[in-house]
Structure 1
Amino acid sequence: MLVFVINQNKKPLMPCKPSKARKLLQAGKAKVVRNTPFTIKLLFRSSGYTQPVTAGMDTGSKVVGCAAIANGKVLYQSEIYLRENVSKKMEQRKMYRRTRRSRKTRYRPARFDNRGNSKKEGRLAPSIRSKLEAHFREKRFVESLLPVTEWKVELASFDIHKITNPEVSGIGYQEGDLKGFYNIKAYVLDRDGYTCQHCRGKSKDSRLHCHHIVFRSQKGTDAPENLITLCETCHKALH
């Protein structure tokens, strides 16, 4: 465990051991400025000596990993879970706005093209902008704790199709498992032989559904591996 240190001008210095920080606090030469992570501010002039610190960030759409090292020792590490509810919050705001306007402005003219900001060149969707700003926010936070001299960011892109099928190339990228099917539901029904995978057709119910094994509300995907064929009777029993 280390204690982060900043000087009188709020510039980050190298972290120190808790015992040294305790002595500085008891002597009145430092004060606590942050509890998590524990950070102290020096109340006297210091030399400002620092060592090279390398920070790294593993970008992601759901979780961001960040760490900083110096002389082979880890000084800082964190995981940031990005917001997944931005779109839902905006839909909720849209609903409240419409309800309020219909309630308070009975004779208000219809307005449907008054969102000039959404047409700006280079604009990012709010959900994407939120994730991007979270990366920069973590970068600024690390730089406020440590004298970072170098950043290394992982921007690797993965060929998911090639991971599942190493021999794929060229036109093969357009010829996946769903080739020849109208949609994912048609593929899943054909894969399962148009038979309920729970009762195996014992219910004699002819109506079939594509059921999510892991619900969407629990961050399940629409991938075929997460879908299964169920008859309406079994589907209702599960819901």
Structure 2
Amino acid sequence: MTHCFVLDAQGRKLSPTKEKRAWYLIRKQKAILKCKFPMVIQLVREVPEEEIDSTPIHLGIDDGSGIALVQECRAENKPVFKGTIELRIDVKEKLAVRRGHRRYRRQHKKYRPARFDNRSSSRKEGRIPPSIRQKKDAILRVVRQLTKWVRIDKIFLEDVLIDIRALEKRYNPYRWEYQQSNRLDENIRKAAILRDRNTCQDCGATNTRMEVHHITQGV
């Protein structure tokens, strides 16, 4: 991270500044260090409302736990923060262990008849599996923390389609078939080039270097 989040004496969010500038303000006793990583400083003076920069700052979130803040500038956009959220990968295993303990405990309760499907959390509408929910909650916790230090005008979320075959070809596989990928290559970029036979889908050019990116549809 090469930039630092800035707050004024009243706690109002200002535009980020470079770390070198932040350490200079701290040495001159014009600011105090609130957090070291990510670096956050608070000025000892109050900035008037008319002097606060209102340049838009956008937050980009990759569903695979990547996150970045970009500030719009006159010449070019300036990245002010980027990082990777380390998500837990042991939730499924811990749930399996807990399920085994509960099953063992229920089988040894001889004083009441066995019950089935009696957990309201497993039957409620719109339920999200815990292994997926904890990943979304981890990203939301980081976003809520960033909003305390910096102004975020827009949030862009990169979404991923789970099964393209089901959307394009009305393919309805069995449960065990979801684990069998029909991708032409493990690298998504190579798979897209092989699928399109090295032909640009925009201008139809062939035998040239291909750029593989998201499709942007005009209004």
Question: Cα RMSD over matched residues?
Answer: 3.5
Partner residue in 2 for 1:64: 65
How far apart in 2 are the matches of 1:111 and 1:130?
Answer: 31
Given the alignment, which residue of 84, 89, 104 partners 1:84? 89
Report the structure, 1 or 2, having the larger strand content: 1
How far residue 108 of structure 1 moved from its aligned partner, in angstroms, is 4.8
Distance 1:58 1:19, change over 3 A: closer
Does residue 53 of the first structure (1) align with residue 56 of the second (2)?
A: yes
How far apart in 1 are the matches of 2:122 and 2:162?
Answer: 31
Per-residue CA deviations over 1:60-115 (Å, capped at 9, x if unaligned) read 2xx2222222211111112224333222111122334455x479x76553553442
Gaps of 5+ in 2: 184-219
Distance 1:53 1:77, change over 3 A: farther
How far apart in 2 are the matches of 1:108 and 1:28?
Answer: 70
Partner residue in 1 for 2:17: 16
Distance 1:122 1:156, change over 3 A: closer
How far apart in 2 are the matches of 1:159 and 1:111?
Answer: 38
Aligned pairs for 1:114-153 within 5 A? 114-153=118-157
Tell me the percent identity. 26
Q: What is the number of residues matched between the two proteins?
A: 172
How far apart in 2 are the matches of 1:158 and 1:124?
Answer: 15
How far apart in 2 are the matches of 1:170 and 1:27?
Answer: 65
Q: Could you tell me the TM-score, scaled by structure 2's length? A: 0.61
Larger radius of gyration: 1
SS at 1:44's partner residue? coil
Q: Could you tell me the TM-score, scaled by structure 1's length? A: 0.57
How far apart in 1 are the matches of 2:89 and 2:98?
Answer: 16
Gaps of 5+ in 1: 163-168, 185-220, 226-239
Partner residue in 2 for 1:155: 159
How far apart in 2 are the matches of 1:6 and 1:57?
Answer: 22
